[in-house]
Amino acid sequence: MTTLDLVQMGQQARAASYALARLTTDQKNALLHSIADALSAQTPAILAANAQDVAQAHANGTDPVWIRDRLDLTQRMAGIIADVRSVAGLPDPVGREYDHKTLPNGLDVRKRRVPLGVLGVIYESRPNVTVDVATLALKTGNAVILRGGSDTLHSNVALVNALHSALAQHGLPAACVQVIASTDRAYVQQLLKLHDYVDMIIPRGGSSLHAFCRENSTIPVITGGIGICHLFVDSSANLAASLPLIHNAKTQRPAVCNALDTLLVHSDVAAAFLPQVVDYLGKDGVRFKAEPRAYALLQGDERVSAAGDGDFDTEWLGLTLGLKVVDSLDDAIAHIRQHSTQHSDGILTETPEHAATFLNAVDSAVVYVNASTRFTDGSALGLGAEVAISTQKLHARGPMALEELTTYKWLVTGQYTSRA
């Protein structure tokens, strides 16, 4: 294992960021197409490296479904390459000028969108994230330091080799995209202290990774990705139309952060609706944790158990759904304020005033009326890409894509103007 000098990596990333910041949109798009070409040309080497990681994962007794769905690139290279070309086609936020004004003293003042500079991204074992994040960073003129999961080290190094060959073709330093090629967690600690060189830390992983970054980083961290998501079925909701929506929110992809965790049902309709929910979702394997009033309406159904302490503070990430009866919109809002992670929460209602009150009062990154929580996603909300989902409130909230990898600077031009 080589010894890495993280300070040097930070300095080199900073220097590389200056080179990237000078590129035009056309130059950046040409770079991305070269990256796609290099990934195509080097696919055999990438898959050979990936096979090493896959074999090691099997040897470690890792869940084969997980290996197939997340680690194994055999069926995924074409998709990864297509995604790179798709990012090349997205609008470039960098360079846009706005908030232009001329002050009474003649000063011309405007803001310009510019790259953040250097991003640090810490993620778990999905090698496609390596290309995905690097591509979005380069498109916005940022250098990036990547620290992937230890299970994907060979894959990540091979993927970044392809990126480096494309960078070299364009006369750009390899330090535009660096990988911490070590499984030693001490390097993560060091990365989190590089506030002189790194402008933003994006953790992509579970709640423990986010907490670790929040506790240890001296660099601003985009925390998020943890969703305890709620839907409230109001008494006026179209119940028949609500069932497939709730099914979608819970079961379409139960392991992700925008999947539904808790269903709140107005007491006026709970007796009629809750058994329908249990039947509609239960046939696809969903099991239920019900608080006492909901449990009383469902007792005897073997798919339903009594909710225990902390169940409404649990992100299920699987086919479990919490059920609760509430007596009013205000009660629903109060429950959500207490238990939500401010990710994605919605109301199903035919009462416009209730929809408006819910949108006002629920302080989550994405608030829904009559729509599935599953839409909290950069692509699904029309951003064309996604680098993370933020549940903190600074800089960016909800899905983050290209614009959210930029900042602005103020440009002020005078005529040898002094402050009065």
Which parts of 85-114 interact with its own copies (CB under 8 A)?
A: 101, 103, 107, 109, 112, 114
Total residues binding its own copies (CB under 8 A): 71
Name the one residue in this structure whose structure tokens are 């139960």. Answer: 254
Using CB under 8 A as the binding rule, whether residue 117 contacts its own copies is answered as: yes
Using CB under 8 A as the binding rule, whether residue 372 contacts its own copies is answered as: yes
Using CB under 8 A as the binding rule, whether residue 292 contacts its own copies is answered as: no
Using CB under 8 A as the binding rule, whether residue 238 contacts its own copies is answered as: yes
Name which of 71 and 249 has its Cβ closer to its own copies: 249
Name which of 189 and 238 has its Cβ closer to its own copies: 238
Q: Which of 28, 230, 324, 374 binds its own copies (CB under 8 A)?
A: 374
Q: Which of 8, 74, 299, 413 binds its own copies (CB under 8 A)?
A: 413
Q: What is the DSSP string of 109-124?
A: EEEEEEE--EEEEEE-
Name which of 9 and 367 has its Cβ closer to its own copies: 367
Q: Cβ of residue 24: shortest distance to its own copies, in angstroms?
A: 11
- Compute CA 283 distance to the chain's CA centroid, rounded to the nearest angstrom: 30
Contacts of 41 (CB under 8 A, 6+ apart): 162
Binding mask 147-166 for its own copies (x = CB under 8 A): --------------------
At position 299, the amino acid (one-letter code) is: Q
Using CB under 8 A as the binding rule, whether residue 380 contacts its own copies is answered as: yes
- Please give the Cα distance from 381 to 236 (Å, whole number): 27
Strand order in the sheet with 200-204: 177-179, 143-147, 118-123, 200-204
Best CA proximity match to 386, nearest among 370, 368, 404, 369: 404
Q: Cβ of residue 21: shortest distance to its own copies, in angstroms?
A: 7
Using CB under 8 A as the binding rule, whether residue 256 contacts its own copies is answered as: no
Q: Which of 79, 285, 318, 414 binds its own copies (CB under 8 A)?
A: 414
Q: Is the distance from CB of 290 to CB of 323 less than 8 angstroms?
A: yes
Q: Which of 229, 366, 385, 400 binds its own copies (CB under 8 A)?
A: 366
Q: Which of 45, 241, 255, 296 binds its own copies (CB under 8 A)?
A: 241
Tell me how far CA of residue 182 lies from CA of 61, 129, 231, in angstroms. 21, 17, 42
Name which of 27 and 74 has its Cβ closer to its own copies: 27
- Please give the Cα distance from 186 to 207 (Å, whole number): 19
- Please give the Cα distance from 86 to 33 (Å, whole number): 9
Tell me how far CA of residue 402 lies from CA of 102, 115, 191, 220, 362, in angstroms. 29, 10, 23, 18, 27
Q: Residue 204 in 3-state DSSP?
A: strand
Name the one range near its own copies by CB under 8 A: 64-72, 160-168, 266-274, 403-411.
403-411
Phi-psi category of residue 327: left, alpha or beta, with phi > 0 → left and psi -120 to 50 → alpha: alpha
Using CB under 8 A as the binding rule, whether residue 121 contacts its own copies is answered as: no
- Compute CA 342 distance to the chain's CA centroid, rounded to the nearest angstrom: 14
Name the one range near its own copies by CB under 8 A: 15-23, 30-38, 78-86, 321-329.
15-23
Using CB under 8 A as the binding rule, whether residue 234 contacts its own copies is answered as: no
Q: Is the distance from CB of 52 to CB of 154 less than 8 angstroms?
A: yes
- Please give the Cα distance from 235 to 121 (Å, whole number): 44
Q: Cβ of residue 221: shortest distance to its own copies, in angstroms?
A: 8
Name which of 127 and 141 has its Cβ closer to its own copies: 141
Using CB under 8 A as the binding rule, whether residue 354 contacts its own copies is answered as: no
Using CB under 8 A as the binding rule, whether residue 412 contacts its own copies is answered as: yes
Q: Which of 242, 262, 340, 391 binds its own copies (CB under 8 A)?
A: 242
Q: State phi, psi for 376 to the nearest 5 degrees.
A: -75, 90
At position 334, the amino acid (one-letter code) is: A
Q: And the tokens for 308?
A: 């225990």
Name which of 241 and 255 has its Cβ closer to its own copies: 241
Q: Residue 239 in 3-state DSSP?
A: helix
Q: Cβ of residue 82: shortest distance to its own copies, in angstroms?
A: 19
- Compute CA 161 distance to the chain's CA centroid, rounded to the nearest angstrom: 25
Instruction: Map the footprint of its own copies across residues 180-209, applying CB under 8 A.
Output: 195, 199-200
Binding mask 21-50 for its own copies (x = CB under 8 A): xx----------------------------
At position 84, the amino acid (one-letter code) is: V
Name which of 289 and 397 has its Cβ closer to its own copies: 397
